[in-house]
Amino acid sequence: MHILKCALILTITLLPTLVLAQEICDNAIDDDGDGLVDLNDSECSCSNIISLSDATGYICRDNLQLYLEDPDIQSMQWYKDGIALVGENSSPLQLVEFNGVEGEYKAWIEKSDGCYLTEAYDVNIPTHEQYLGVEKICKGDTVFFGGFSITNAGFFQVNGFAVDGCDSITSLTIEIVQPTYANLFGEICDGEEFTLGDFTTTESGTHEIILENIDGCDSIITLELTEGNNIEENISASICEGEFFHYGSFSTDQEGPHELFLENSLGCDTVVHISLDVNEIPEAYYLISICDGDEYTDYGLNISESSIQEIQVEATGECDSLITIDIEVSETIQVFQELHLCESDTIIFKDLEITEAGNFTTSVINQVGCDSIFSIMVTKGESTTALIERVLCHGEIFEFGDFSTSSSIEFDTSIVNDAGCDSIISFDIKFLEEIKEVEYQTICDGDVIEFGEYYYGEEGIFEISLLNQDGCDSIIQLNLSITEQPTDFRVANICPGELFNYGTIYSEEEGIFQTIIEVENGCDSLITIDLVVNEIDEGIDIKPYHKIEYEQPTDIIPSHIDNGIQELTWTDVHGEVLGSGPMLNNFVALHDMHIFISSEDNNGCPVEARTFIDVIYDTDIYIPNIFSPSDQENNTFQIFGDNMIEGIRKIQIFDRWGVLMYQTENVPATEEYKGWDGTINGEEALPGVYTYIIEFTSIFNQSIKRTGSITLMR
């Protein structure tokens, strides 16, 4: 930082009439006369903020220390309220209590990568105040506070020191609580105790009691007790089972002696002795059965459905009798039956005699005396006839019951049908003759043929058994012959790197290969290929790159062309033809590019070569090093470039602290750039030396950077 200051002072000395004084940031002096000192002046600013390493001790104990530890620190200056503490340029900063020590402390450091400013540390001298609230004491009691004994009411304060060494003020309010007085009246029964707080007595009369009130002080009570007497009473009673006996708030349905303790008008016990009898209720149960549609009418009932009825019958001088009547209704039973008869049959059922099909009904009295209704549906069956025809294969057997045969036959038999009547069945059984066939097949050598469930690949005669269209076995004889596989030998030539493909052969290398090709008779032909890779001649030699001047015609000539190579073709990277022949005459290049040369040798194989064209061009850029916004001609910072410059990508201008002051981007051409007028956000920038970084774009879309300094004068 001192080097920058010297450079600034030197600049002011050389240009005394053009540059105003600037603020020096670490001398506690208003150098530029604007009323702002050191960090309070905008000229002394640093945007990089860091934290203090540590802060220990207390200001009131005179041992507060502020630490900033960093091995990369080159210089340091401490500030209070933005003004330099001259001579305080190391860590830690020691602070003691004195008038004016309170304020905001910061440190400015210089490192290899620029300036840094610490976060503010506020120093203040506090006074710790604590109010303990209100302390109530009884009249005549003593409270101790700050080493003093206090017996009277008031506000009291003690001064001292806190843990951090600063002043501490503790205060307390004392209130005096007076004793209270009261008169109470009560009643006590004979033999009982009366209790109030910790006081207990069995005697009537006047008593004086001292208790503690809600504030913990004495409460004096005068108690007047009046004595009362206890009463006893005997009661006998009886109830019916299920009823309740009531006496006052007492209620029970349990038999036995009971003793009640009630409070009389004087608050003393009245003892009631109760002797209670519980009489049982006589009960009876009757099961009654009636038929469906009838009614039960005893005991004043009219019941026609199944139910359970409970009836209470009053008794003279006794508890009522409970009669339970369980009424069951017997439903009419309906029975359905299906019966079958054949011609000339008769069915006898109860009082019915049936000879024809139809629906019949009759009733019978059941065991409980109610009707049971029978519904009968009668069907009548007839004798039937049927014809069964079967066609069987040679060697099979036909079976029906105990009968079997392997020859064609016709016969009749009688069985009982599904209706239970006789059925006449006629049989017509036929057996087919055995079938035998002959088949001729030819296959290629190495193939197989599927025949039935088997595969055959050799010549011969074979027999199998198959099912024919009738589902019977058919004997088939196969006469199989084999056709031999044809072969062929061929020679083929390819160029180096060329892929040879024939049938299943894919190769770029020499060798003997075989593949199988199907011929006209459907059999495979074995083809043997002798593959030969042609040797490459020396080809074309050319320098790997050529340097030529921008827009200057140049001849591109190979250093060697093999004798077997005929016409050359010259193309660019997009395949566009640039020329033909042994050389490329008067070639003009506007940008860097690759040129490709292609031809064929005596064997028809491709020959290729390429070279890189490096275009050389000069660029003329002029950037001035001084300007003055107050000058009529040189009043803006301008930039000039020749026709090789297409435009400006970015311009950045920084102050001596490295802060970005001006920036613009994407100017299409240097002649369209209006220049920097020496202002920042509409305000005039201070005179001095500024640095710039400018990035240009060439006509070939290449990036060209320029850096330097510019002096602003006013």
Nearest to 185 by CA among 205, 201, 200, 203: 205
259, amino acid identity:
E
DSSP classification of residue 121: E
Mean pLDDT of the chain: 82
Distance CA 473, CA 476 (A): 10
Q: How confident is the model at residue 712 (pLDDT cuts 50, 70, 90)?
A: very high
Q: Are 500 and 462 in contact (CB under 8 A)?
A: no
Instruction: Please say if the pLDDT value at position 214 is more than 70.
Output: yes
Neighbours of 165 (CB within 10 A): 16
183: left (phi over 0), alpha (psi -120 to 50) or beta: beta
The predicted-structure confidence for 279-289, as pLDDT tens digits, reads as follows: 877 777 888 87
The predicted-structure confidence for 9-53, as pLDDT tens digits, reads as follows: 333 333 333 335 688 998 889 888 888 998 899 889 898 999 999
Instruction: Please say if the pLDDT value at position 662 is more than 90.
Output: yes
223, amino acid identity:
L
Nearest to 372 by CA among 337, 332, 331, 338: 332
The predicted structure's pLDDT at residue 62: 87
Instruction: Please say if the pLDDT value at position 566 is more than 70.
Output: yes
Q: How confident is the model at residue 368 (pLDDT cuts 50, 70, 90)?
A: low
The predicted structure's pLDDT at residue 518: 76
- With 0-12 / 13-18 / 19 or more C-beta atoms within 10 angstroms meaning exposed / middle / buried, residue 562 is middle
Q: Once rounded to an integer, what is the mean pLDDT over residues 134-158?
A: 85
The predicted structure's pLDDT at residue 5: 30
45, amino acid identity:
S
Instruction: Please say if the pLDDT value at position 134 is more than 60.
Output: yes
The predicted structure's pLDDT at residue 6: 30
Instruction: Please say if the pLDDT value at position 525 is more than 90.
Output: no
Q: Once rounded to an integer, what is the mean pLDDT over residues 162-181?
A: 85
Instruction: Decide: pTM greater than 0.75.
Output: no
Of the listed ranges 176-185, 364-373, 664-673, the one predicted with least confidence: 364-373
Of the listed ranges 250-264, 338-352, 496-510, the one predicted with least confidence: 338-352
The predicted structure's pLDDT at residue 267: 67
The predicted-structure confidence for 55-68, as pLDDT tens digits, reads as follows: 999 989 889 999 99
Q: Once rounded to an integer, what is the mean pLDDT over residues 620-634?
A: 88
Instruction: Please say if the pLDDT value at position 356 is more than 60.
Output: yes
Instruction: Please say if the pLDDT value at position 2 is more than 50.
Output: no
Q: Which one is predicted more confidently, 713 or 465?
A: 713
The predicted structure's pLDDT at residue 118: 93
Nearest to 254 by CA among 264, 263, 243: 243
Q: Once rounded to an integer, what is the mean pLDDT over residues 350-377?
A: 78
Give the percent of the chain with pLDDT over 90. 18
Distance CA 63, CA 92 (A): 11
Distance CA 362, CA 353 (A): 12
Q: Are 609 and 539 in contact (CB under 8 A)?
A: yes
Place of tokens 């503490």: 85
The predicted structure's pLDDT at residue 10: 31
Q: Which two tokens stand for residue 185?
A: 């009246």
The predicted structure's pLDDT at residue 520: 65
The predicted-structure confidence for 76-91, as pLDDT tens digits, reads as follows: 999 999 999 988 999 9
Residue 444: strand, helix, or coil: strand
Question: If you count DSSP H runs as helices and E runs as strands, how many of each does the chain have, helices first?
Answer: 1, 65
Cα dihedral sign, 116-118-120-126: negative
The predicted-structure confidence for 260-271, as pLDDT tens digits, reads as follows: 877 766 667 778
Instruction: Please say if the pLDDT value at position 624 is more than 60.
Output: yes
Nearest to 542 by CA among 608, 605, 590: 608
Instruction: Please say if the pLDDT value at position 230 is more than 70.
Output: no
